């Protein structure tokens, strides 16, 4: 997720590289296609509510991506970048909370954020 956001961000920084932009968008689309397949799998461990929310988000990403492929413009990538960063930060928080629960420690109360340089940071 973070790597896809970074590739999209790199495409924003090089708006004249149409092929790079399209490659980044297609990579992100493949990632979200994999997520969709997992969401639709009857064996998914996610709750129905989370699956429905992710599926709605996936549908939005599909439509937005088609719009970008139809009319490639770097300015359209910001939405995809923010979605990926937010999902990655949420996954990081979930993993950290699960690890704390397993170890019997109190889960941290800070939140994670993902920067454009491919790093995750936390703040209290």
Q: What is the DSSP letter of 104?
A: T
Q: What is the pTM of this model?
A: 0.76
Reported confidence tier of residue 65, pLDDT bands at 50, 70, 90: very high
Report, in this order, helix, strand and coil percent for the chain, each rounded to 5.
70, 5, 25
Stretch 29-53: mean pLDDT, rounded?
93
Stretch 96-114: mean pLDDT, rounded?
64
């Amino acid at each position: 997720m973070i790597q896809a956001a970074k590739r999209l961000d790199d495409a924003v920084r090089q708006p004249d590289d149409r092929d790079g932009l399209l490659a980044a968008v297609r990579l992100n689309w493949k990632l979200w296609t994999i997520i969709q397949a997992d969401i639709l799998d009857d064996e998914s461990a996610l709750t129905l509510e989370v699956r429905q929310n992710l599926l709605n988000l996936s549908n939005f990403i599909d439509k937005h991506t088609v719009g970008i492929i139809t009319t490639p413009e770097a300015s359209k990538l910001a939405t995809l970048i923010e979605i990926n960063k937010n999902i990655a930060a949420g996954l990081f928080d979930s993993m950290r909370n699960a690890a704390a629960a397993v170890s019997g420690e109190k889960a941290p109360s800070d939140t994670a954020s993902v920067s454009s340089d491919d790093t995750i940071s936390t703040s209290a």
